[in-house]
Chain A
Amino acid sequence: MTPTRIILVALGIAALVAAPLGQGNYIVYTLTSWLLFSIAAMGLNLTLGYAGQVSLAQAAFMGIGAYVTALMTLAGLPWIAAALVSVAASFVVGLLLGYPALRVQHHFLAFVTLAFNILLFLVLRNEEEVTGGSFGLVGMPRPSVLGISTDSNLNFYYFALACFLFAAFVMWWILRSPWGRAFKALRENPIRAESLGLKIRRQTLLAFAIGSAFGGLAGALMPPLVQFIEPGSFALIHSLKLLLMVVVGGAGFFFGPMLGAALVILLPELLRFTEGYYLIIYALLVIVLMVFSPNGLIGLGQKIWLGFRPKQEERRDMKKGFQL
């Protein structure tokens, strides 16, 4: 990282620490849920932006994390143990789902995950004895760290921020390790990556499973935040919403999912004056964005920025020569 980058990141973290100070409960809550969805979207970005596979079950993985955490903390176990089990469970389910789906070409993972999300929703709704059915589960306790309780919303925000920064660091570390660079190679040119000795299937599968584990972590933060979970929060539409976050922000960019999550969570507030037309405007914006800039907002920004920079002139005689 260049020094300017380090300064910018430090400033960003300082802004996140200062953001909720002096704000009302509602804004603190919204900021916390932004952190939470950013974690989930970051995971999906690994699957989508780096490994190039569409997963339509990120909300289902959040659901696995949320229900595992809720049931375990309600049984009196500490949050950290529940969160670890949630992450592990999402990882394992990701492996099991991805293994058969990634044997074949096309977007079979998209189909399998789509089916999985609906199946999970049905199970959560129908197995009332365990999951509480459509009434959901209530009264999950909030964790306390080093004796400080996170019962106040501000404290819980800082708790979620710590989790978010941890997740972001892990993601950054994965992406810059040689192993993470292989993901990029895979996305840019899978055939070349394979000829250089990368095991494409194993890499993609791991990317999907790790991405799902991030969903599990985000889910584990949900019961203590909302203190009420129900199957409807993990339906297919929410997976589509997470997918939108990643793509609108910019798939394959590190900060894309965070920007996208902010937009998807804040836009309803900004467009509130349009009342019922909110979703229509939203869908139109997404279509227009996709037509003009498939790389999302960060891609659009990059395009505009590069437009102002001097470009290297290609040698035209060579160009002609290649054509001949």
Chain B
Amino acid sequence: MTRYVLIKVLRSIFTLWIVVSAVFLVLRASGDPLYSVFSLGTPEATLDVFRAKWGIDKSIFEQYVIYLGDILRGDFGTSFFDGQSAWDLVTERLPKTLLLGGTTFVISVIAGVLLGTIAALKRGTVWDRGIMTAAVASFSMPSYFLALLLILLFSLKLRWLPTAGADTWKHLILPATTLGLTLSGSIARFTRSAMLEVLRQSYMRTARAKGAPRWRQIAWHALPNAAIPTVTVIGFQLGWLIGGSVVIETVFAWPGAGRLFITSVGVRDFAVVQLFILMVASTVILANLLVDILYGFLDPRISVTGGGGK
């Protein structure tokens, strides 16, 4: 067990190091932040003062070593623009992002699993075709386009829901729906195929031969088995959800970390962008770790304690 955890942790740290280094390099290759702050014609002497102040006058190698050292000490740098620490800037907006992402995630998982199960049980019927058509449509449509359609209908036409901001629960509905439709669509599809696979297994016939009522066959025999492949997919979707929320926060002017990220990329605010991506990478790694642990609970054939993998 200890060995297993140790390997996992080491591998995670390695992944994070790759991510951090790649972002560091790409950001510095993408242009000088000074030119997005100062107008053309600012004297070089002034620019040099800021270069020295922000620590980008040194060679890229020196900068990299300093940066890694800072991260290890828990110092994530300062925003070039308002001088606040990047950590404060991001964490200040994080609750809003978590609210949007969390709501979306919970509702999508429930709706996706439920709809996928119904589609599998009613295979080949109108229910199945209806749910699957909707699922494919929702996840093949770009989320910003879906967002615009929803805004047109519910905000401009019906005038029921606000289009921007995050003041009330009403503000949450449109962005969460947009993100959630896409997510639950793909979860529904995966749940359906996992369920179909499970339903034709012999042990389902055993459950019927035992006299278990239909709902019990589904809830106690089929779902726990179908959950094994479905959980993997849901774990992967978490990374997608973060990416999607960056777009959706921008479309709906949701004051979360995602929108801060887009702004920061635009102005090459190194520290903020670096921290944001580090956080996203950590979240995805944690989610995958969680999936691995969940596996052990869901599938008794996988022994985490044995030190083996999947």
Real complex partners, A and B? no
Interface residues of A (CB under 8 A from B): none
Interface residues of B (CB under 8 A from A): none
